[in-house]
Amino acid sequence: MNARRDRVVVVGAGFAGLSAALHLAGRGREVTVVEREGWPGGRAGRLDVAGYRIDTGPTVLTMPDIIDETFAAAGKDRTRFVDLQPVDPAYRAMFADGSSIDVHADADRMTAAVREFAGPEQAAGYLRLRAWLERLYCTEFDGFIGANFHSPLSLVNKRLVQLSAIGGFRRWDTMVKRHIGDPRLRRIFTFQSLYAGVAPQHALAVYAVIAYMDTVAGVFFPRGGVRALPDGLAAAAVQAGVEFRYGATVSALERAGARVTAVRTVDGERIRCDAVVLTTELPQTYALLGRRPRRLAPLRPAPSAVVMHVGFHPADATPHAHHTILFGESWEQTFTDIIRHGRTMRDPSLLVTRPTVSDPTLAPDGRGLLYVLAPAPNLSRGDIDWSRHGEAYAGTLLDAVRDRLLPELGEGAELLGVSTPADWASQGMAAGTPFALAHTFAQTGPFRPANTVRGIVNAVLAGSSTVPGVGVPTTMISGRLAADRITGSNSQTHGAATVLDLKVPLP
């Protein structure tokens, strides 16, 4: 920005908004965060019921270095605000044939586990795959994930050549097959494509970086639940001078020509600003701005999910992992069911998270807590009446978990809450999906909705629907990229950025 940019209003206190606020405060800006809920977190929601403290949003946290960098941007030490513990194993993968394997971030332990599970040839293949994933991450982070783009021409650089040379623009599944022959093991390094909203046989290999994040860099969990992370980020931001307005819903942006001059809330409050960061859902963002994306093809939302929360009496003698992936026998059919045909899985594959393995205080004494996630079609693809069928479908998922993982889920089990695509839609999420836009080629990098706005020189976007994309680490990066747009790139952060200017009217 070439004009005054001292007072910044951030709309939304999700991970992107909190990251933007900390980076801006650390660069000397006066920051006000406006949040419609009474707490921070955004998609990282919370539900307190019957003595259970439930995370309703993401449960898998990766890339702690990005979290640490966000705190450090405002001169804060993350360890003073959040107790982040490694989860080991990162996952337990269980297959329809009765086999299972624990997934470790440590190379030696994982090599030993693969050797025992599938033999020495697959163990050697795992090491080659791990090396490729590490190279992929190092090659693409600064120039692809952690950088702002002028235009699609920004991709034409040395990093593009390097990514192409290592197979980054081939198919994800194809690149994993080069190293791993066992189809069960391949699932461990490709199931993450569901987060990107694309089947692994169609997803670009650049998104295998998500597999790097959890299977190599590791999975973590904050004491107190995932909610402890946005709480800690907000507390650090307050110490850095950021002001929070909770329970305040933004209704309009005041404009003077090409500039936003103030943010208005539904209760009539007017907050003056020199710049604004919008982390709202994309339809709401464009409505506030009075703009529509200039795209030849409509935006494609990612698949959605049904999430179920269950309280139960755990069997003390049964060892369990924090995260368990229950793979159905017809794994490939899962993507066809959800993405192509818009129906629920006929052979469910599920993520089952048991947070009380790591923090028993999240449930009443003597009780356990489960989070069960089942991928599901979004509302633009499927025509399921979730108000009629949601609870019954949750019952089938509970039966699957009982049969395949936890036989102790008997009469003492309590269904504490269910979220369906219809519920996500009621929270303003486009097409009823918490995973925002699918990471197709046409919605990747500079082709994803830009974080700058054509014709408005002091508004910046952040969050899952803009660059770099979906996931806790990437949305936190998007907050930093938004700050870079306002102040210019900070030499201590990753990547390069371009300051907003009338000469850069990106769509």
- Tens-digit pLDDT profile for residues 40-86: 999 999 999 999 999 999 999 999 999 999 999 999 999 999 999 99
H or E element in which residue 483 lies: helix 472-487
What does the radius of gyration of the chain's CA atoms come to, in whole angstroms? 22
pLDDT at 37: 97
Q: What pairing do the DSSP bridges indicate for beta strands 219-222 and 61-62?
A: antiparallel
Stretch among 54-63, 127-136, 335-344, 498-507 having the lowest mean pLDDT: 498-507
Separation of alpha carbons 26 and 11, rounded Å: 18
Question: Is the per-residue pLDDT at 155 higher than 70?
Answer: no
Question: Is the per-residue pLDDT at 493 higher than 70?
Answer: no
**Around 240, how many Cα atoms within 13 Å sit in the side-chain half-sphere?**
31
Separation of alpha carbons 233 and 82, rounded Å: 8
Over the stretch 373-431, which tens digit does the pLDDT of each residue have? 999 999 998 889 999 999 999 999 999 999 999 988 877 899 999 999 999 999 999 99
Answer whether 436's CB lies under 8 Å from 302's CB. Answer: yes
- Angle between the 64-72 and 472-487 helix axes, to the nearest 10 degrees? 30
Q: Which residues contact 40 (CB under 8 A, 6 or more apart)?
A: 13, 14, 18, 230, 231, 233, 234, 244
Q: Which residue has the higher pLDDT, 107 or 146?
A: 107
Question: Is the per-residue pLDDT at 13 higher than 90?
Answer: yes
Answer whether 223's CB lies under 8 Å from 230's CB. Answer: no
pLDDT at 21: 98
| Mean of all residue pLDDT scores within the chain | 91
Sheet with 323-326: list strands edge to edge: 100-103, 91-94, 323-326, 350-353, 368-376, 304-312, 414-419
Say how many Å lie between the first and final Cα of the chain, rounded: 17
The domain spans of the chain are 7-86+223-296+437-487, 106-216, 301-436
pLDDT at 497: 35
Answer whether 310's CB lies under 8 Å from 414's CB. Answer: yes
Q: What percent of the chain has pLDDT over 90?
A: 77
**Span 299-324, average pLDDT:** 89
pLDDT at 499: 39
pLDDT confidence tier of residue 495, bands split at 50, 70 and 90: very low
pLDDT at 440: 87
Q: CB atoms < 10 A from the CB of 145, how many? A: 20
Question: Locate tokens 């859902």: which residue?
Answer: 281
Topology given in CATH for the domain delimited by 7-86+223-296+437-487: FAD/NAD(P)-binding domain (3.50.50)
**Span 256-267, average pLDDT:** 96
| Residue type at 291 in one-letter notation | R
Q: CB atoms < 10 A from the CB of 36, how many? A: 18
pLDDT at 151: 58
pLDDT at 161: 82
